[in-house]
Amino acid sequence: MPMENLGLTVLEPKKKVGLILVITGYGKGKTTSALGMALRAVGYNMKVCIIHFMKGDMYSGEIDGVKRLSPNIELHLTGKGFCGIMGNPYPWKEHRANAQDAIQLAQEKILSEKFDIVILDEINNALKLKLIDLPQVLSLIDSKPPLLHLILTGRDAHPEVIQRAHTVTEVKEIKHAYREGIEPQKGIDY
Protein backbone atom coordinates (compact mmCIF):
# COMPACT_ATOMS: atom_id res chain seq x y z
CA MET A 1 0.00 0.00 0.00
CA PRO A 2 1.54 3.36 -1.00
CA MET A 3 2.52 5.76 1.79
CA GLU A 4 0.01 8.40 0.78
CA ASN A 5 -2.78 5.90 1.39
CA LEU A 6 -1.57 5.30 4.92
CA GLY A 7 -1.76 8.97 5.86
CA LEU A 8 1.90 8.99 6.96
CA THR A 9 4.29 11.87 6.48
CA VAL A 10 7.43 11.18 4.46
CA LEU A 11 10.36 13.39 5.44
CA GLU A 12 12.82 14.74 2.89
CA PRO A 13 16.20 16.17 3.91
CA LYS A 14 16.88 19.73 2.76
CA LYS A 15 20.27 18.56 1.49
CA LYS A 16 20.93 15.00 0.35
CA VAL A 17 24.29 13.54 1.38
CA GLY A 18 25.69 10.11 0.65
CA LEU A 19 26.75 8.80 4.03
CA ILE A 20 29.62 6.53 5.01
CA LEU A 21 28.52 4.24 7.83
CA VAL A 22 30.68 1.80 9.77
CA ILE A 23 29.13 -0.95 11.88
CA THR A 24 31.80 -2.67 13.93
CA GLY A 25 32.38 -4.39 17.25
CA TYR A 26 32.23 -7.87 18.72
CA GLY A 27 28.49 -8.09 19.29
CA LYS A 28 25.90 -9.83 17.15
CA GLY A 29 24.00 -7.74 14.63
CA LYS A 30 26.41 -5.90 12.33
CA THR A 31 25.25 -7.51 9.10
CA THR A 32 21.69 -7.59 10.40
CA SER A 33 21.80 -3.83 10.94
CA ALA A 34 23.06 -3.27 7.40
CA LEU A 35 20.33 -5.55 6.05
CA GLY A 36 17.77 -3.54 8.01
CA MET A 37 18.94 -0.39 6.22
CA ALA A 38 18.71 -2.27 2.91
CA LEU A 39 15.12 -3.28 3.72
CA ARG A 40 14.26 0.32 4.62
CA ALA A 41 15.84 1.56 1.36
CA VAL A 42 13.83 -0.91 -0.72
CA GLY A 43 10.72 0.60 0.88
CA TYR A 44 11.71 3.84 -0.87
CA ASN A 45 12.40 1.96 -4.13
CA MET A 46 16.14 2.56 -3.73
CA LYS A 47 18.70 0.21 -5.27
CA VAL A 48 21.13 -1.66 -3.01
CA CYS A 49 24.20 -3.77 -3.74
CA ILE A 50 25.53 -6.10 -1.03
CA ILE A 51 28.98 -7.65 -1.34
CA HIS A 52 29.89 -10.27 1.27
CA PHE A 53 33.68 -10.26 1.69
CA MET A 54 33.93 -13.22 4.08
CA LYS A 55 30.70 -15.17 3.92
CA GLY A 56 29.85 -17.46 1.08
CA ASP A 57 30.66 -21.04 2.02
CA MET A 58 27.61 -21.58 4.24
CA TYR A 59 23.92 -21.02 3.59
CA SER A 60 22.19 -18.22 5.47
CA GLY A 61 18.52 -17.28 5.23
CA GLU A 62 19.45 -13.76 4.19
CA ILE A 63 20.53 -15.13 0.79
CA ASP A 64 17.01 -16.16 -0.21
CA GLY A 65 15.45 -13.33 1.80
CA VAL A 66 17.39 -10.78 -0.23
CA LYS A 67 16.49 -12.56 -3.49
CA ARG A 68 12.84 -11.85 -2.67
CA LEU A 69 13.67 -8.16 -2.70
CA SER A 70 15.10 -8.35 -6.22
CA PRO A 71 15.48 -6.36 -8.43
CA ASN A 72 16.04 -3.65 -5.81
CA ILE A 73 18.81 -5.59 -4.05
CA GLU A 74 21.74 -7.28 -5.76
CA LEU A 75 23.75 -9.74 -3.64
CA HIS A 76 27.29 -11.01 -4.30
CA LEU A 77 28.77 -13.81 -2.20
CA THR A 78 32.46 -13.40 -2.95
CA GLY A 79 34.02 -14.92 0.16
CA LYS A 80 35.09 -18.43 1.06
CA GLY A 81 33.84 -18.23 4.63
CA PHE A 82 35.60 -16.97 7.73
CA CYS A 83 39.33 -17.21 7.16
CA GLY A 84 41.13 -19.31 9.78
CA ILE A 85 38.13 -20.10 12.00
CA MET A 86 35.25 -22.56 12.35
CA GLY A 87 37.18 -25.26 10.49
CA ASN A 88 37.40 -23.22 7.28
CA PRO A 89 39.43 -25.40 4.87
CA TYR A 90 40.62 -22.76 2.41
CA PRO A 91 44.20 -21.45 2.52
CA TRP A 92 44.86 -17.77 3.24
CA LYS A 93 46.04 -17.19 -0.36
CA GLU A 94 42.67 -18.33 -1.69
CA HIS A 95 40.85 -16.06 0.76
CA ARG A 96 43.10 -13.18 -0.31
CA ALA A 97 42.44 -13.82 -4.02
CA ASN A 98 38.68 -13.83 -3.41
CA ALA A 99 38.87 -10.64 -1.34
CA GLN A 100 40.90 -8.96 -4.10
CA ASP A 101 38.16 -9.92 -6.58
CA ALA A 102 35.60 -8.46 -4.14
CA ILE A 103 37.52 -5.17 -4.01
CA GLN A 104 37.40 -4.93 -7.81
CA LEU A 105 33.68 -5.75 -7.81
CA ALA A 106 33.05 -3.17 -5.09
CA GLN A 107 34.85 -0.48 -7.08
CA GLU A 108 32.80 -1.36 -10.16
CA LYS A 109 29.48 -1.26 -8.26
CA ILE A 110 30.35 1.96 -6.39
CA LEU A 111 31.17 3.76 -9.63
CA SER A 112 28.33 2.23 -11.69
CA GLU A 113 25.77 4.88 -10.64
CA LYS A 114 23.19 2.06 -10.49
CA PHE A 115 22.92 1.95 -6.69
CA ASP A 116 21.83 4.22 -3.88
CA ILE A 117 23.53 2.05 -1.24
CA VAL A 118 26.51 -0.30 -1.39
CA ILE A 119 27.05 -2.58 1.60
CA LEU A 120 30.53 -4.05 2.02
CA ASP A 121 29.78 -6.79 4.52
CA GLU A 122 32.69 -8.03 6.64
CA ILE A 123 35.15 -5.75 4.83
CA ASN A 124 36.60 -4.68 8.20
CA ASN A 125 37.46 -8.33 8.97
CA ALA A 126 39.00 -8.78 5.53
CA LEU A 127 41.22 -5.74 6.18
CA LYS A 128 42.23 -6.94 9.66
CA LEU A 129 43.19 -10.34 8.20
CA LYS A 130 45.23 -8.62 5.44
CA LEU A 131 43.07 -10.14 2.70
CA ILE A 132 42.79 -6.59 1.39
CA ASP A 133 44.95 -3.55 2.07
CA LEU A 134 44.08 -0.26 3.77
CA PRO A 135 44.81 1.86 0.66
CA GLN A 136 42.29 -0.26 -1.26
CA VAL A 137 39.55 0.37 1.31
CA LEU A 138 40.33 4.07 1.55
CA SER A 139 40.25 4.29 -2.25
CA LEU A 140 36.74 2.78 -2.25
CA ILE A 141 35.61 5.33 0.32
CA ASP A 142 37.26 8.25 -1.46
CA SER A 143 35.84 7.29 -4.88
CA LYS A 144 32.27 7.11 -3.60
CA PRO A 145 29.91 9.34 -5.58
CA PRO A 146 28.48 12.21 -3.47
CA LEU A 147 24.96 10.75 -3.08
CA LEU A 148 25.89 7.09 -2.65
CA HIS A 149 25.54 5.65 0.86
CA LEU A 150 28.40 3.26 1.69
CA ILE A 151 28.09 0.83 4.60
CA LEU A 152 31.13 -1.08 5.88
CA THR A 153 30.57 -3.86 8.41
CA GLY A 154 32.70 -6.24 10.42
CA ARG A 155 34.80 -6.39 13.56
CA ASP A 156 37.95 -4.39 14.08
CA ALA A 157 37.23 -1.36 11.88
CA HIS A 158 40.50 0.39 11.11
CA PRO A 159 40.93 3.84 12.75
CA GLU A 160 41.37 5.53 9.35
CA VAL A 161 38.12 3.98 8.11
CA ILE A 162 36.37 5.18 11.27
CA GLN A 163 37.82 8.66 10.77
CA ARG A 164 36.36 8.92 7.24
CA ALA A 165 32.89 7.72 8.28
CA HIS A 166 29.92 9.96 9.05
CA THR A 167 28.30 7.44 11.39
CA VAL A 168 30.07 4.71 13.36
CA THR A 169 28.27 2.18 15.50
CA GLU A 170 30.01 -0.31 17.76
CA VAL A 171 27.97 -3.41 18.50
CA LYS A 172 28.94 -4.69 21.92
CA GLU A 173 28.27 -8.19 23.15
CA ILE A 174 26.77 -8.31 26.61
CA LYS A 175 25.74 -11.96 26.49
CA HIS A 176 25.50 -14.54 23.69
CA ALA A 177 23.63 -17.84 23.59
CA TYR A 178 26.63 -19.52 21.92
CA ARG A 179 28.71 -18.91 25.03
CA GLU A 180 26.06 -20.80 26.99
CA GLY A 181 26.43 -23.82 24.74
CA ILE A 182 23.41 -23.06 22.55
CA GLU A 183 24.02 -23.71 18.86
CA PRO A 184 23.30 -20.99 16.27
CA GLN A 185 19.57 -20.85 15.49
CA LYS A 186 18.04 -20.71 12.00
CA GLY A 187 16.48 -17.34 11.19
CA ILE A 188 18.29 -15.64 14.08
CA ASP A 189 21.98 -16.44 13.67
CA TYR A 190 22.04 -17.52 10.04
Domain residue ranges in the chain: 18-171
Residues 53, 99, 56, 80: is their CA dihedral positive or negative?
negative
Task: For the sheet with 20-24, list strands across it.
Answer: 73-77, 48-52, 117-121, 149-153, 20-24, 167-170
- Distance, in Å, from the CA atom of 87 to the CA atom of 58, rounded to the nearest integer, reads 12
- 3-state secondary structure at position 41: helix
Mean pLDDT of the chain: 92
Q: Is the pLDDT of residue 1 over 50?
A: no
Q: What is the pLDDT of residue 108?
A: 98
Q: At what angle do helices 134-142 and 92-111 cross, to 10 degrees?
A: 10
- 3-state secondary structure at position 151: strand
% of the chain residues with pLDDT over 90 = 75
**pLDDT tens-digit series, residues 6-64:** 789 889 999 999 999 999 999 999 999 999 999 999 999 999 999 999 877 678 888 99
Q: What is the pLDDT of residue 5?
A: 54
- Distance, in Å, from the CA atom of 16 to the CA atom of 19, rounded to the nearest integer, reads 9
**pLDDT tens-digit series, residues 125-134:** 999 999 999 9
**pLDDT tens-digit series, residues 107-119:** 999 999 999 999 9
The architecture (CATH level 2) of 18-171 comes to 3-Layer(aba) Sandwich (3.40)
